[in-house]
Structure 1
Amino acid sequence: MGLSYKLSILDKCPKAEGISAEQSFKNALQIAQTAEALGFYRYWVAEHHSTALLSSPSPEILIAWLLAQTKSIRIGSGGVMLQHYSPYKVAENFNVLASLAHNRVDLGVGKAPGGFPVSTQALQLGLDQTQKGDFKAQLQALDHYLHAKLDRNQPDQVAATPAPQQLAEKFLLGASIESARLAADLGWNFVFAAHLNGDANLLQDALQTYSSYSSGKKAIVAAQIIVADSRDQAEELAAGLSVWTLELENGQRVKIPNEQSGQEFSRQAQSAIKSLKKEQLNIIKGTVDDVHQQLHALHQQFGIHEFIVESPLLDHATRLKSLTLLAQHAVLAA
């Protein structure tokens, strides 16, 4: 693209009103194939459960389908919500994917639930979470299984077969210094979710922590963007968006889209609200020149070498145009 930083895409596979699930997946494929043609480096799909607005509860399945219909772009998860699953099964799934598409698969893992408490309860029905341990223990187990090899002299050893020639590239998604340190300690890449936490000081601290404890490796930064023909149009597109931080008495802390969602999350979790605060939107928006100027400024200030961008909009044509403008401008500017 002729830029000093890479651009990648995170797709939540939105399903606008009146759009079928089948069409939302066709839209995702069109964005992935367009991204590949325009020179984006990665295309990731997110994981969300029991929502009418998003169509991606199973990133692994979509990844396999998208890999088969693209040629060079890296395809991955942004990310698998590890708390719901056996780390061993996640390792098996991504070893299969990595065997199907050599050196094109990314395994991104997140700590969040990806849904409301009722879907979390359904996903974890019959599981003993105390046996799984905390998130750090789960991620350590996943890392172990990804690297474990079969040994005929140790018949009781478990390995996540098949063993690909090239493992999926590993990424921890997070928005805290603790996540940055955990990623560094395990030798994983780190993606700071700036679209969920716009605190510039925290961003700097997390990036510095990751670099310090990973022998100088650079983190990726995830950001929401809206590219439009004019600044006024970009502001109009962003006008209906909001993000809130919900903290419950039981210790849960999640990002939600509106105040009503906070009340419903609290009801489902059967835990009182400790705090519910509307956050300032952290969206990079404007004309294509505006957006690239903001990305370049972040690149220079924090040394960011790759942005994985997500459009928070539901309309497919608007999202596709936004991403196309972003890439084509970069090509023209090269």
Structure 2
Amino acid sequence: MSYQLGILDQSPVFEGKTATDALQDTIQLVKKAEAWGYSRFWVAEHHHMEQVAGSSPEVLISHLLAHTSSIQIGSGGVMLQHYSPYKVAENFNLLASLAPGRVDLGIGKAPGGLPLSTRALQHGNLKNGNDFNERLTFLRDLIDDSIKNSHPLAGIQALPKPEKKPEIYLLGGSTVSATFAADLGVNFVFAGFLNSDEELLQETVRTYKDNFNEGKCIVALAVLAAPTQQEAEELAKDHKLYILHLHDGRTLTVQSKEQVQAYKSQAEGPFEVEEKAADIIAGTKEFVNGELNRLHETYKIDEFILHTPLRKKEERLRSFQLLSPFQLTKKVESTIY
């Protein structure tokens, strides 16, 4: 296998379980991911959602670093529109000082929640998060310790200064995001688990690499593996995505009817709902590996981050083990789990 694999974990709260259970599952999964040969493990940021427990990636990352020794740990991602870039830089420089060379700083532009939590996060923020490009540029300069003398905050440093700075990744799903990441000189992650349009994938990856061939370009995919093709396809068939087309031209993708209803109760304007089958690569480990190989060879993608949206802990864990680098490169004699 000539590419690397990582995991995106949203700390799902399974039926009949609690947020504490979900976070314990995340701790166990990162330990297994490290043992199974995954290259990195990212945790998400979601707000006011009872189905997932990860609302503060920085806090969770620090705990996961303490329970592992080699795997990269990062955010997928910090929703920068809500926060001070200076504080984010301090947080991740501190994490990178605690675990040198193992911290990834993934940055997202989405709100990470529905309208009510967005208003709560931005309460008192005069710009309401509408200065994302400015924030990310400032964050990049803080991490690189390259604030220009002409900047109003010239001389400021985000301390402590780690031996190896955290790597920045911009999460996005368009050529616009890819171009911005390339212009900034930061790594880029294409959100393929929300949009499996291969023409868009090809155009976005090409745009990024043509403008910045030194950065890492990773693709995040929804995948599901099972012992048989039939079981995998059966598990995947009921998963849906709901695209909310907002009155101001923006779109928001949610993953359940409950989230659609919650958005409806909180929205400040009209919107339309488009339902579509979730973009999941589902099959045996051989089938999924074949699809990853095809994408790798066709679009020159050197790393994938896998998201598995299963609603049962055992099936989800089994999928990650079946797709683990050690499983795909050699026969593992240990049993599942």
Q: TM-score, normalised by structure 2?
A: 0.92
Identify which range, 321-330 or 69-78, moves more after superposition: 321-330
Partner residue of 1:121? 119
Deviations 1:131-183 (A, max 9, x none): x65221111111122123799xx997321111111100110000000100111
Q: Does 1:296 align with 2:293?
A: yes
The root-mean-square deviation of aligned C-alpha atoms, in Å, is 2.0
Deviations 1:193-221 (A, max 9, x none): 00011111110010000001103645100
CA distance in 1, matches of 2:49, 2:323: 29
Tell me, yes or no, if the aligned pair for 1:259 and 1:276 is still in contact at 8 Å. Answer: no
**Deviation (angstroms), 1:333:** 6.3
Q: Secondary structure at the match of 1:158?
A: coil
Partner residue of 1:205? 203
Partner residue of 1:78? 76
Runs of 4+ residues over 4 Å off in structure 1 = none
Which residue, 276, 285, 295 being the options, matches 1:279?
A: 276
Q: Secondary structure at the match of 1:129?
A: coil
Which residue, 40, 55, 63 being the options, matches 2:38?
A: 40
Percentage identity across paired residues of the two chains? 44
Which residue, 307, 310, 331 being the options, matches 2:307?
A: 310
Tell me, yes or no, if the aligned pair for 1:248 and 1:266 is still in contact at 8 Å. Answer: no
Partner residue of 1:167? 165
C-alpha change, 1:222 and 1:135, in structure 2 (3 Å) is: same
Deviations 1:40-65 (A, max 9, x none): 00000011111111010000001000
Partner residue of 2:250? 252
Q: Secondary structure at the match of 1:251?
A: coil
Q: Secondary structure at the match of 2:295?
A: helix
CA distance in 1, matches of 2:331, 2:289: 11
Tell me, yes or no, if the aligned pair for 1:243 and 1:278 is still in contact at 8 Å. Answer: yes
CA distance in 1, matches of 2:153, 2:175: 40
Q: Secondary structure at the match of 1:22?
A: helix
Task: Give the alignment of 1:52-71 within 5 angstroms.
Answer: 52-71=50-69
Q: Does 1:323 align with 2:313?
A: no
CA distance in 1, matches of 2:136, 2:146: 18
**Which ranges of structure 2 fall in alignment gaps of 5 or more residues?**
333-337
C-alpha change, 1:54 and 1:97, in structure 2 (3 Å) is: same
CA distance in 2, matches of 1:189, 1:123: 26
Which residue, 131, 135, 143 being the options, matches 2:132?
A: 135
CA distance in 1, matches of 2:18, 2:256: 24
The letter for the 1-side match of 2:162 is P
**Deviation (angstroms), 1:129:** 1.7
Which residue, 16, 19, 22 being the options, matches 1:21?
A: 19
The letter for the 2-side match of 1:9 is I
**Which ranges of structure 1 fall in alignment gaps of 5 or more residues?**
none
The letter for the 2-side match of 1:186 is L
Partner residue of 2:102? 104
C-alpha change, 1:149 and 1:159, in structure 2 (3 Å) is: farther
C-alpha change, 1:27 and 1:56, in structure 2 (3 Å) is: same
Deviations 1:225-269 (A, max 9, x none): 110111121122112210021111133311012456335424412
C-alpha change, 1:184 and 1:20, in structure 2 (3 Å) is: same
CA distance in 1, matches of 2:177, 2:165: 22
CA distance in 2, matches of 1:238, 1:245: 18
Q: Does 1:177 align with 2:175?
A: yes
C-alpha change, 1:18 and 1:264, in structure 2 (3 Å) is: closer
C-alpha change, 1:234 and 1:160, in structure 2 (3 Å) is: same
Identify which range, 256-265 or 53-62, moves more after superposition: 256-265
CA distance in 1, matches of 2:118, 2:156: 28
Tell me, yes or no, if the aligned pair for 1:218 and 1:304 is still in contact at 8 Å. Answer: no
Q: TM-score, normalised by structure 1?
A: 0.93
Tell me, yes or no, if the aligned pair for 2:6 and 2:38 is still in contact at 8 Å. Answer: yes
Q: Secondary structure at the match of 2:328?
A: helix
CA distance in 2, matches of 1:295, 1:266: 37
CA distance in 1, matches of 2:120, 2:182: 32
CA distance in 2, matches of 1:141, 1:149: 9
Tell me, yes or no, if the aligned pair for 2:81 and 2:130 is still in contact at 8 Å. Answer: no
Tell me, yes or no, if the aligned pair for 2:239 and 2:277 is still in contact at 8 Å. Answer: no
Identify which range, 155-164 or 236-245, moves more after superposition: 155-164
C-alpha change, 1:150 and 1:290, in structure 2 (3 Å) is: closer
